[in-house]
A = this chain, B = another copy of it.
Amino acid sequence: MASNSFGEILRIATFGESHGAALGVVVDGVPAGLTLSEADLLPELARRRPAQSDISSPRKESDRPEIVAGVFEGRTTGMPVAVLVRNEDARPQDYEALRERVRPGHADETYAAKYAVRDHRGGGRSSGRETVARVVGGVIARKILPPTTRIVGHALSIGPHRARTFDAATIEQNPLRCADPEQARAMLAFVQQLRDAGDSCGGVVEVRVADPPPQVGEPVFGKLKARLADAFLSIGAVTGFEYGAGFGAAAMKGSEYVADRSNFGGILGGISTGEPIVVRAAIKPSSSTGDVAKRGRHDPCIVPRVVPVLEAMTALVLADLLLLHRALR
Contact = CB atoms under 8 A, between A and B. Distances in A.
Interface of A: 1-6, 8-9, 11, 13-17, 20-24, 26, 28-29, 31-33, 66-70, 72-73, 75-82, 84, 104-111, 113-119, 124-126, 130, 157, 159-160, 194, 199-204, 214-215, 217-223, 225-234, 236, 238-258, 261, 263-265, 268-273, 282-290, 293, 323-329
A68 B111 CA distance: 20
6 contacts: A15-B68, A105-B261, A110-B215, A125-B219, A250-B282, A324-B327
Contacts of A247: 204, 239-240, 242, 247, 282
Nearest to A83: B15
A1 B199 contact: no
A265 B282 CA distance: 14
A289 B254 CA distance: 6
A115 B32 contact: yes
Contact of A234 (B220, B282, B293, B327): B220
B239 A157 contact: no
A313 to B, nearest CB: 11
A78 B118 CA distance: 9
B105 A257 contact: yes
Contacts of A252: 201-202, 284-285
B1 A8 contact: yes
A241 B3 CA distance: 21
A222 to B, nearest CB: 5
